[in-house]
Amino acid sequence: MVEKTLGFMFFLKHGRKVENTEMYIYLRITVDGRSNELSTKRLWDPGRWNAGLGRATGNGEGSRSINTHLDTLLQQAHQARKFLMDSDREITAEAIKNQMLGIDNRKMILEVFQGHNDQIAALVPQEYSPGTLDLFKRTLNHTRSFIQWKYREEDIDIRKLNYEFISEYAFWLKSVRKCQHNSAMKYLTYFKKTVLLCVKYGWLKSAPFAGYNLNRREVEKPYLTEDELERVATKVLRSARLSNVRDIFVFCCYTGLAYIDAKQLRRSELIKRFDGEQWIVKNRQKTESASWIPLLPAALHILKKYEDDPQCQIRNVVLPVLTNQKMNEYLKEIAERCDIDKLLIFHVARHTFATTVTLGNGVPMGTVSKMLGHKNLRQTQHYAKIVDAKIAYDMKQLKEKLNVKIIGNAVSP
């Protein structure tokens, strides 16, 4: 940015602790009509001062020494202005003053991001989940690595954030970090939340994400068919470890609970409601949206099985849920034993509840949305597409059966 007007003027000003007639010399820096003052730390007699020139009068040694010092300061002020201009930084009276004093008032990307994450950490778990904080931390680490890769620097001025930065960051996430498109968009979305704060605070004049498309690609969410769910639920598993994981997974297939909500489910959240049936009534940790889920017989059976489980009683929870990593590891083993050729992870249970258990059996989408704790129907609509695919698959199977029957009748004597 090049300033419209620029002015430097030395003037005298009374100091609070100066008892004699001498006054302090100050430098007034003015940029676009806005001023800031810098003390020269020197005293001078007002009777030997030319206010118009902003210089000491006389040819004595003292006058020459003062004026030489002022000339040096003026030269430093011009150098500070040039440095700001060369660095493509905003030129203000305060910025010139700080540059002369060696104060760096720039806002740096990683510094601002770290400050934002520190605030998020202070609000866990009251307003943010540990998982949200972890995503912000991972995004910060990715941003740090990208800056080192792209700029060969530890941090850069936040004013360098522009469309090119965002575009290059997305390329780095996909090419260097080998992130899938949706994962890259997820990290950019979390980065955007910090960038928008900088715009709101006035540290950035424009939004770098303006015009950048953060849309995610539709990905088919895996779920279990009725036959696959039956196989998992009825498979005889000799290992108590696998049996427990299977039970918890099946419970979530019939309730739609996400991993963290199943792990934290307490007896106090199992409520007998107006219809005399047991319901799960709890807020989802991820969105804090309320979930109201009537318990189906299969889910009630599993709850009863773990009613006296010592681990559950010690932790005051309903089910002995392991870490997400362990649950997913054991689910893959269960999938092999049940001859299921799908990547079986814990979140498949939630998808199975939405598709096979509810929408596939005619439960209205609004009801399913409420049970899943979605804030709006748009979050639930992608499951309807999966159900449509299931209908198409079922009809294809029916056509094949009908064709066989027709052909059989045609060749019958």
Question: Which residues fall within 8 angstroms of residue 366, CB to CB, at 6 or more apart?
Answer: 377
- How would you write the pLDDT of the chain (413 residues) with one tens digit per residue? 455 689 999 999 876 655 668 899 999 999 998 999 999 989 999 999 999 999 999 999 999 999 999 999 999 999 989 888 887 777 888 888 888 887 766 788 999 999 999 999 999 888 888 888 999 999 999 999 999 999 999 998 888 899 999 999 999 999 999 999 999 999 999 999 989 988 888 788 788 898 899 998 877 778 999 999 999 999 999 999 999 999 999 999 999 999 999 999 999 999 988 888 899 998 877 766 778 899 999 999 999 999 999 989 899 999 999 999 999 999 999 999 999 999 999 999 999 999 889 988 888 888 988 898 887 777 777 776 666 666 666 677 778 778 766 665 565 54
Integer Cα distance of 154 and 67 in angstroms: 42
294: β partners = 279
Asked if residues 281 and 290 have their Cβ atoms less than 8 Å apart, the reply is yes
Q: Cβ–Cβ contacts within 10 Å for residue 175, how many?
A: 10
Integer Cα distance of 209 and 112 in angstroms: 17
Q: Return the structure tokens found at 73.
A: 């300061």
Asked if residues 299 and 308 have their Cβ atoms less than 8 Å apart, the reply is no
Amino acid at 149: W
* Phi, psi angles (nearest 5°) of residue 10: -90, 140
Integer Cα distance of 209 and 162 in angstroms: 7
Helix, strand, coil share of the chain (percent; to 5): 55, 10, 35
Asked if residues 10 and 26 have their Cβ atoms less than 8 Å apart, the reply is yes
